[in-house]
Structure 1
Amino acid sequence: MEATCLNCNTEIAQNFCANCGQKKYKRIDRKYIWDEVQYSTVHMNKGFFYSLKNTLKNPGKTARTFIDGNRVNHYKPIALAFILSGISAFISFKIVGLGDMMNAMQDEQIAKSDMMKDINAFNQTYNSLIFLALIPFFALFTKWSFKSWGHNFYEHVVMNAFILAYYNSITIILFYPLMFLFKDNESMVMIMTSIATLSFLIIIPYFFKEFYKEYPFKQVLKRFLIFVVLAFIFSAILFVAAIFGYIMYQATFHPEALKQFAPPPKP
Structure 2
Amino acid sequence: MNQKSCLNCGHSVSDEFCPHCGQKTDTARITPRSIIKNDILGSIWHFEARFFNTLRNIIFSPGKTAMNYIAGKRIRYNNFIPLLLVLFSFNVLGLHYYEKFAPAEVLAEDSEVKDFLSKYSKAILFIVIPMLAVNAYFLFRRIKLNIAEHFIIGTVSLLGILTLFLLDDIVSLISLWKPVSRIFNSIDRALFGIAVLFPAVTYWNAFKNSFTTWELAWRVAGLYFLMGLESSVIGLILYEVF
Aligned equivalent of 1:231, options 220, 224, 227? 227
- 1:265 aligned partner: none
How much has 1:33 moved relative to structure 2?
6.4
How much has 1:74 moved relative to structure 2?
1.3
Q: Secondary structure at the match of 1:148?
A: helix
1:90 paired to 2:93 = yes
Q: Is the 8 A contact 1:59 1:162 kept in 2?
A: yes
1:73-222 map, 5 Å: 73-95=76-98, 97=100, 104-105=108-109, 117=112, 120-123=114-117, 127=121, 129-134=122-127, 135-173=129-167, 175-183=168-176, 199-214=194-209, 215-222=211-218
Equivalent-residue separation in structure 2 for 1:200 and 1:100 (angstroms):
26
Q: Is the 8 A contact 1:89 1:125 kept in 2?
A: no
Higher relative contact order (CA 8 A, sep 6+): 2
Equivalent-residue separation in structure 2 for 1:222 and 1:27 (angstroms):
61
Q: Is the 8 A contact 1:60 1:206 kept in 2?
A: yes
Q: Which of the pair has more CA radius of gyration?
A: 1
Q: Secondary structure at the match of 2:73?
A: coil
Q: Is the 8 A contact 1:102 1:120 kept in 2?
A: no
How much has 1:136 moved relative to structure 2?
2.2
Q: Secondary structure at the match of 1:12?
A: coil
Q: Is the 8 A contact 1:55 1:166 kept in 2?
A: yes
Decide which moves more: 31-40 or 148-157: 31-40
1:198-256 alpha-carbon deviations (Å, 9 max, x no partner): 5444222222121112122221121112212321232122122212332xxxxxxxxxx
1:38-81 alpha-carbon deviations (Å, 9 max, x no partner): 45323311211111122222222222222222222111222222
Q: Structure 2 length as normaliser, TM-score?
A: 0.71
How much has 1:194 moved relative to structure 2?
7.2
CA 124–191 in structure 1, closer or farther in 2 if over 3 Å, else same: farther
Where structure 1 has 5 or more consecutive residues not aligned to the other structure, the ranges are 6-10, 108-116, 247-267
Q: Secondary structure at the match of 1:74?
A: coil
Decide which moves more: 141-150 or 33-42: 33-42
Q: Is the 8 A contact 2:63 2:203 kept in 1?
A: yes
How much has 1:91 moved relative to structure 2?
0.7
Q: Is the 8 A contact 2:164 2:192 kept in 1?
A: no
**What letter is aligned with 1:59?**
P
- 1:262 aligned partner: none
- 1:243 aligned partner: 239
**What letter is aligned with 1:163?**
S
- 1:255 aligned partner: none
Q: Is the 8 A contact 1:205 1:220 kept in 2?
A: no
**What letter is aligned with 2:239?**
I
Where structure 2 has 5 or more consecutive residues not aligned to the other structure, the ranges are none
How much has 1:151 moved relative to structure 2?
1.4
Compute the RMSD of aligned alpha carbons. 4.0
Q: Percent identity?
A: 19
Q: Is the 8 A contact 2:171 2:188 kept in 1?
A: no
Q: Is the 8 A contact 1:138 1:231 kept in 2?
A: yes
Q: Is the 8 A contact 1:93 1:99 kept in 2?
A: no
